[in-house]
Amino acid sequence: MIDPRIQDAVNDQLNFELYSAYIYYSMQSWFENQGMSGFANWMAVQVKEEMSHAQIMFDYVNERGGRVYLKGIEGPSNDWESPLHIYQTALEHEQIVTGRINKIMDLAQEIKDHATVQWIQWFIAEQVEEEASASDIVGKLEWAKDAPGALYQIDKELGARVFNLPSPLAAGG
Ligand code: FEO
């Protein structure tokens, strides 16, 4: 049986993952509107990643005999200024997510919930990737400045991103 404190923490984080999807959806919309289809594709994949993170949390709470309680999802900003502004915001957002995931680990260790300690490790590794990929694109955009040729090249590169089902879901739970 899941500890109620872990159930609450994972439910909260599930909501935050859906909020993350909402933010990236808003960013995708801006890129679509600008005709930057590669950037929009990268964001579309990111939306699916966040939805899959929520799904992993949904499955875990249920698997442990707990209950998922859904709450309202906060509205995202729709005021984006540039690709660099968007990716800087994405990086800052992922740093917040990392802090939240670490807090779930801290709680699981504190109450000696070994199953959750093991389970949350996938997310800790995932956050290293999430921060690295946003940071990498921030670096490229800082280098490109507003040069159309460089932006076109980055757009082309990001257009190649594909969604892969995360391993906890691919493994069937
Ligand atoms: Fe689900 Fe981008 O962290």
Query: Could you identify the atom of ligand 1 that is nearest to the CA of residue 53?
Result: 1
Rounded distance from Cα 129 to ligand 1 centre (Å): 9
Residue 50 Cβ < 6 Å to ligand 1: yes
Residues whose CB is less than 8 angstroms from the CB of residue 153 and which lie 6 or more positions away in sequence, other chains included: 144
Cβ pair 165, 59 in contact under 8 A: no
Question: Greater confidence, 172 or 23?
Answer: 23
- pLDDT band for 172, please (50, 70, 90 cuts): low
**Nearest protein CA to atom 1 of ligand 1, as residue:** 50
Angle between helices 4-34 and 37-63 (to 10 degrees): 170
Query: Could you identify the atom of ligand 1 that is nearest to the CA of residue 126?
Result: 3
Residue 131 Cβ < 6 Å to ligand 1: no
pLDDT digits (tens, 9 = 90+) for 16-65: 999 999 999 999 999 999 999 999 999 999 999 999 999 999 999 999 99
Residue 54 Cβ < 6 Å to ligand 1: no
Burial of 143 (0-12, 13-18, 19+ CB in 10 A): exposed
Query: Could you identify the atom of ligand 1 that is nearest to the CA of residue 94?
Result: 2
Q: Which amino acid makes up residue 66? A: G
pLDDT digits (tens, 9 = 90+) for 143-154: 998 899 999 999
Mean of the pLDDT values across residues 5-21?
Answer: 98
Rounded distance from Cα 127 to ligand 1 centre (Å): 7
> Residue 171's pLDDT is what?
72
Burial of 42 (0-12, 13-18, 19+ CB in 10 A): buried
H helix runs in 4-113, sequence order: 4-34, 37-63, 83-110
Residue 17 Cβ < 6 Å to ligand 1: yes
Which of the 8 DSSP states describes residue 65? Answer: T
